[in-house]
Amino acid sequence: GNLNPPGHTFPTDHIYLAYEPIDEPLELRAPGDLRIFVIRKSEYVISSFRQGVQDFGIDLTDEAETVRANLSHVNALAPQIEAQLGSGDCETYQAGDETIESCQFQVAIDVLPGDALGTLTGESSWNLDFGLYDSDQSNGLDPSRYYEQTITTACPLDYFEPGIQETLYSLLGQR
C-alpha cells in the first residue's frame, strides 16, 4: 500500500502502475477471461490540478466470482464498453481539496484476454491503480476490524502467468 495524504491517509489495498508523461494514449487491455460488473466514472468538479477532468474505474471478476480486480484512473473507455453504459447512481463528495462527482454503473460485459478496455493519457493521474481481491484466501487480518475487501487483498502481479509475472516483477526491482 501507499500513504499519500490527503487522498490516502491509510495504506491502500492496491498497487500503482506509474508511467511517464506520454504523447499518445496507452491502450489498456483485459488481463484475462473476465466479466466487467461495475464501471465508475469520476469527474473532478473542483481541483487544483485536474478540474474538469474525468476518469473511469473498471471492476472485473472471474467466472466463479471469487477473484475481483479493479483498474482505476482510466481516462477513456473503449467505445464498445462505453456504449453499454446505462443510467448511473451518482453522488458528489469531497476528498482533500477536491470535489468529485462519482457515478457507478452496474453492467455485465464479458471480455477476453487482450480485449480493449480503454486508454490511459495521464490527464487525471500518471498511475493506473490496480487492486485484486481473492475471496478464497485471507491475508491474516482480523475480520472484525477490516472490510472484506481489505482482508482478501492480494498482489495482482501474482495472478499473471509465470512469464508475464516475471516481467512485471522485474520492473519493480527487488522482490
At 53-64, the pLDDT tens digits run 999 999 999 999
pLDDT band for position 175 (50/70/90)? low
Long-range contacts of 161-164 (CB under 8 A, 24+ apart): none
Report the pLDDT value the prediction gives residue 123, as an integer from 0 to 100: 85
Report the pLDDT value the prediction gives residue 13, as an integer from 0 to 100: 85
pLDDT in tens, 26-35: 999 999 999 9
Using alpha carbons, list the distances in angstroms from residue 78 to 32, 75, 116, 124.
16, 10, 6, 17
Alpha carbons 109 and 100: distance in angstroms, whole number: 26
- Asked if residue 3 has pLDDT above 60, the reply is no
Of 41, 27, 15, 14, give the one whose Cα is nearest residue 121. 27
Which residue has better confidence, 123 or 79? 79
Alpha carbons 55 and 141: distance in angstroms, whole number: 31
What's the CA angle centered on 120, arms 118 and 121, to 5 degrees? Answer: 135
Report the pLDDT value the prediction gives residue 124, as an integer from 0 to 100: 82
Alpha carbons 134 and 93: distance in angstroms, whole number: 29
pLDDT in tens, 108-162: 999 999 999 999 998 888 889 999 999 998 888 888 998 888 899 999 999 999 9
- Asked if residue 173 has pLDDT above 90, the reply is no
Cα radius of gyration (the chain): 16
Q: Please, what is the average pLDDT of the chain?
A: 90
Hey, what's the cell of 38? 461495475
Reported pTM: 0.88
Which residue has better confidence, 90 or 96? 90
- Asked if residue 74 has pLDDT above 80, the reply is yes
Alpha carbons 57 and 77: distance in angstroms, whole number: 9
- Asked if residue 169 has pLDDT above 60, the reply is yes
Report the pLDDT value the prediction gives residue 2, as an integer from 0 to 100: 57
